[in-house]
Every structure is written in C-alpha cells, then in structure tokens.
Amino acid sequence: MVSSHDIIEVITTKRDAGTLSDSQIDWVVDAYTRGAVADEQMSALAMAILLNGMDRTEIARWTGAMIASGERMDFSSLSRRTSDKHSTGGVGDKITLPLAPLVAACGVAVPQLSGRGLGHTGGTLDKLESIPGWRASLSNAEMMAQLESVGAVICAAGDGLAPADKKLYALRDVTGTVEAIPLIASSIMSKKIAEGTGALVLDVKVGTGAFMKSVEKAQELARTMVALGTDAGVRTVALLTDMSTPLGLTAGNAVEVAESVEVLAGGGPADVVELTVALAREMLLAAGVDDVDPADRLADGSAMDVWRAMIAAQGGDPDAALPVAREQHVVAAPRSGVLTRLDAMAVGVAAWRLGAGRERKEDPVQAGAGVVWHARPGDRVEAGAPLFTLHTDTPERFERALAALEGGYDVGDGPHEPAPLVIDRIS
C-alpha cells in the first residue's frame, strides 16, 4: 500500500531544493494519475523540478513509478531479438521510417512505439497517416503478430503503457516545463522500459532545432537516459546528433514519407542515409548482431520489401499516391553564391505554420503541408532559382510561414565547412 503524503509538503521539498523520498515519489505519481493531485499542483512540482533538478536516485524512482502506473509488454516469446530507437525530436527527422524496416531486414525485430508532433517537431505517426489506409492503433496481439511475421511495427503506444507519463506530458507541454531534463528522461525511458525491448538506441538531438540547444545539456540528458536504461536491464546507447540544420530536404508529413521511400530505394539525401545506417548499426550491435551491414540491405532492396509489408500489414497501400497540398509558394534565392546556413528551427516553425504540425494535441494536421528546400548548406545556388517550396491547403498560412523563414538562412561567397552529423556517442 502506497503511504499517504501531503502534496504541499512534496512541492515545498523540491521548491527548497530538497531530495524527494521514494515514498513521496511513489505517492505523488500515483495520486496524480488517479486525479487526487490537481493539474495546478503538479505544474508547481514540475516547475520546481525544472529549476532545482533531481539526483540519479530520484530520477530512477520517478521513472519506476511512471512504469508502475500501467502495464508492461514482453517480447520474449518472439523468435528474434528486439531493438528500438527513440529520437528526442527534430526537423525533417524522418529517420524512423526507413530505419525500422532496415533493421528488421537485418534480422532484428523493431517494436517502434511512436508519437505525434507538437510544436515545431514532427510526429512519426502524423507522417505515416498520410499514407492512404494506414492505421496507427494496434492491439498488443496485432503488434506481436506483425513483429513475428514482418519484423517491424511502427504504431501508437496503447493507453495502458505508462499512463502517468501521458497525463504529465500534456501538462508539461502547456506549463513551460518541457525542458526539465529529469522529466524528459523519465518520460522517454518509462515508456521504453515498459515497452519491453531488449535494446535501445537513443538519438539525442542538439542544436537550434532541438529541445537541447547545447552539447553539454544534450550529454547530460543522454547520460541520464543511458543510466536509466542500463539500471533497468535494457542495453542502452545514445548518439548525439546535429539538429542545427534540418535533416534531408523536406519537413512535413507526406513529403517526408516520399523522401523516406527514396532512401529505401537506394537514393535520398546523403545525411538521411548516413544517420539511418549509423543508427541501424547501433541497434544491431545493441541486440548482439554484428555480422550484417545495414548498408547492404538498403542496396539489395530487402529493406524496401519490409517497408511495403509493414505498411500493408497496418492497412496502408504502399503503392498509393501520397497527398499533395492544394497550394504552393516558391521562395527564390536572393543572390548567387553558397548556402552557408539553414536554421532547423526556422524551417520547423514554417512547416508547423503551414499546417504540418499542431499547437494543441487535439489539432488536426494537413497531410500535404510542409517545406521542401532545394539546396543544403554547402550547395551553390543561383539568384532567382527556387530555394524553398512551401506547401499548404490554406494559402492564408503562407505569410506567417514566410515570416518564420526570414533570417533563417544565409547565402554567402565562401566555402562551407559542414558540421559532423554524429557529435558524440554515450554508452
């Protein structure tokens, strides 16, 4: 039986930079999930955690309490090992789409529970829902059957998995406490540990388009999550990857699906291919598989075969035409030269304002909305040639999207030194 506490006592302990006891943490997470602690009280506690932090013991206990609020999945009955990946969110980050079928094509099952976009970061489920007929919601039995037959599934987390997190995540989003590292780490890891995967690779984004703007903050988050996974018996590794420049050449929903299919067909932008293969290698290694090169599975078409089977298994038509926005607006290069900077946040906000993302979790998204850029930093551009194409069904959105892009890129004369895509590895 969870001991009873007073919510004011819990808030003031953390407000005064104290350490919460195990029983305080167990009680407050359980009480909030049941509705015995009000949103405004949990908001105050979340802000105190943001300002004063938590130590490793507190974060581990908080994560455990979130897991205990719901069910745990078990993939031990599958005929192959499992490995999963989680990205902390970025712009143009369609990596999950080619990655899950690629790893499955290498013999490791991928149970990818994904989410929807909020604000400037895109959501994997929103992207896949632009494919006619595809559905995000699967029962646990359907998920297990698809993992056994296809090897990969990308779907929504069920309501039974860490319900405390679902409630707290929505609250953090509207109270300015999203950036609290203990709460980010416990949110991600409670779902991933409860999901029951044997191995986990974390893609921790850092830069202007990420929640973590500095390498130091990203390293702190990565170390916290790797420790949580390791303590829970999940083989966990993190890559810090650059999100100052958006990934690939597209940000949106259907436009990112189209780009992902290009990668699976053996083409696509070099940075998307590089990161997909790097994460696939880490996922395979974490699952104990080191005799397959994922680059070969992209080249021989087997990853594409798994993609088609995965989409079809969830009701989608892999051959169907993807939605196209009704309206386009082209932004021309202001001068000839080299594109020296393309800011991920500017592009993400523009795509969001065009209708690719949402301000509140219940908002609809437009399947065809988004931004396509026709050059990446380091590429030469000519004055008057298309630099961006903006897509939306509602042309009144163009003005605010253009305002977001203003000042978000530079065209210069000199050579461009590209930043490394993978900045650090933490295990």
Q: With pLDDT > 90 as the criterion, what percentage of the chain qualifies?
A: 87
Instruction: Indicate the SS3 state at residue 406.
Output: coil
The answer to whether residue 14 scores a pLDDT higher than 90 is yes
Maximum CA pair distance of the chain?
A: 70
The second-level CATH assignment, the architecture, of 84-157+195-313 is: 3-Layer(aba) Sandwich (3.40)
Whole-number pLDDT of residue 359: 73
The answer to whether residue 360 scores a pLDDT higher than 80 is no
Per-residue confidence band for 1, with pLDDT thresholds at 50, 70 and 90: very low
Query: How do the domains of the chain map onto residue ranges?
Result: 84-157+195-313, 327-412
Whole-number pLDDT of residue 119: 67
Whole-number pLDDT of residue 362: 72
Helix-strand-coil split of the chain, %, nearest 5: 45, 15, 40
Q: List, edge to edge, every strand of the sheet that includes 370-373.
A: 250-252, 370-373, 386-392, 327-332
- Catalytic-residue membership of 86: yes
- Catalytic-residue membership of 341: no
Among 5, 61, 86, 120, the one annotated catalytic? 86
Compute the average pLDDT of residues 79-86: 96
CA distances from 58 to 229, 328, 400 (A): 15, 50, 43
Question: Which one has a higher pLDDT value, 23 or 122?
Answer: 23
Whole-number pLDDT of residue 414: 79
> Nearest 5°: phi and psi at 114?
-120, 170
Per-residue confidence band for 259, with pLDDT thresholds at 50, 70 and 90: very high
Closest listed residue to residue 310, CA positions, set 139, 106, 102:
102
Compute the average pLDDT of residues 337-364: 90
Among 69, 83, 186, 187, the one annotated catalytic? 187
The answer to whether residue 177 scores a pLDDT higher than 50 is yes
The answer to whether residue 18 scores a pLDDT higher than 60 is yes
274 and 90 in contact (C-beta within 8 Å)? no
Per-residue confidence band for 274, with pLDDT thresholds at 50, 70 and 90: very high
116 and 290 in contact (C-beta within 8 Å)? no
- Catalytic-residue membership of 172: yes
Among 93, 165, 242, 271, the one annotated catalytic? 165
Among 61, 81, 120, 172, the one annotated catalytic? 172
What are 151-161's pLDDT values in tens digits?
Answer: 999 999 888 88
Mean pLDDT of the chain: 94
347 and 91 in contact (C-beta within 8 Å)? yes
DSSP secondary structure, 341-362, as one string: EE-HHHHHHHHIIIIIS-SSTT
Per-residue confidence band for 348, with pLDDT thresholds at 50, 70 and 90: very high
Compute the average pLDDT of residues 190-204: 94
d(CA 34, CA 28): 10
Q: Which fold has domain 327-412?
A: Aldehyde Oxidoreductase; domain 3 (3.90.1170)
pTM of the model: 0.93
Among 191, 281, 297, 397, the one annotated catalytic? 191
